Amino acid sequence: MQATAVRRILPWGLAAWFTAVPYAATAEGQPEDIIKYRQNVMKSIGGHTSASAAIISGKVGYKAHLSEHAKAIAAMTKDIPGLFPKDSDFGDTNALESVWKKRADFEKAASNARAKAEAFAKAAAGNDPKAAGAAFKDLGEACKACHKDFRKEEK
Ligand code: HEC
C-alpha cells in the first residue's frame, strides 16, 4: 500500500520540481530541443561538406552544385556559438564541457571555421573543383580542430 502511494506521488513530485526549475528554458527553446537542433544543423553542414568532397575529388560530376554547397556551409557556420547556449550542456550531447568552460577558445575555433567557410565559398563561386580544392582542405582542418578540442570522440 505504501509502495503504491510512493509510486503515485513520485512522478508527479519530480515533474513539478522540473517545471519549477528556471534553467529549463532559454529564448531559443528547451535544452533538449536546442541540442537536437544544433546536431541537425551540424549534420547539414556535414552533408554539404561530404557532398563537396565528392565533387572536388571527382567521384561525382555535379560541378554546378559546388558553389551552392559552399554557400550553405558559409551560411550555417555564421553563428556556431549561438547553437551552444548556456545550459545546453547536459543530456544527449557530444559537446564537451570545454565548450562552456573554455568559451573564448571555442569562439575562436568557430570564427576560424567561419572565415575558412567564407574563403571556400569565394573559391567555389566559379564551380571549378580545382580552384576550390585548397580552400576546402583548409575548411576541413578548421572543422577537425574544433571537434578535437570540443567534441567527444566518435565511439
Ligand atoms: C567551433 C566548433 C565546431 C566547428 C568549427 C565545427 N563543429 Fe561540428 N560539432 C561541434 C560540436 C561541439 C559537436 C557536438 C554537438 C552535440 O552533440 O551537441 C559537433 C557535431 C558535428 C557533427 C555530428 C552531428 C550529429 O550529432 O549527428 C557533424 C557531422 C559535424 N559536427 C560536422 C562539422 C563540419 C563538417 C564542420 C566544418 C565545416 C564542423 N562540424 C565544424 C563543434 C564544431
pLDDT at 1: 43
Radius of gyration of the chain from its Cα atoms, rounded to whole angstroms? 21
Q: Kindly give the distance from the C-alpha atom of residue 98 to the centroid of ligand 1, in angstroms, as a whole number.
A: 14
Question: Which residue has the CA at smallest separation from atom 36 of ligand 1?
Answer: 143
Per domain, the residue ranges of the chain are 29-150
Nearest atom (ligand 1) to Cα of 109: 1
How do residues 70-128 score in pLDDT, each as one tens digit? 999 999 999 999 999 998 998 899 999 999 999 999 999 999 999 999 999 999 999 99
Neighbours of 117 (CB within 10 A): 28
Higher pLDDT pick, 25 / 106: 106
pLDDT higher than threshold 60 for residue 35: yes
pLDDT higher than threshold 80 for residue 142: yes
Q: Kindly give the distance from the C-alpha atom of residue 143 to the centroid of ligand 1, in angstroms, as a whole number.
A: 7
Nearest atom (ligand 1) to Cα of 112: 5
Give the whole-angstrom CA distance, residue 107 versus residue 121.
21
Helix residue ranges per DSSP H, the chain: 2-20, 31-56, 66-76, 98-101, 103-123, 129-150
Q: Kindly give the distance from the C-alpha atom of residue 19 to the centroid of ligand 1, in angstroms, as a whole number.
A: 30
Which residues line ligand 1 at a C-beta cut-off of 6 Å? 35, 38-39, 42-43, 45-46, 49, 73, 80, 93-95, 99, 106, 109-110, 113, 139, 142-143, 146-147, 150-151
Q: Which residues contact 6 (CB under 8 A, 6 or more apart)?
A: none
Give the whole-angstrom CA distance, residue 62 versus residue 144.
25
Fold of 29-150: Four Helix Bundle (Hemerythrin (Met), subunit A) (1.20.120)
pTM of the predicted model as reported, rounded to 2 decimal places: 0.86
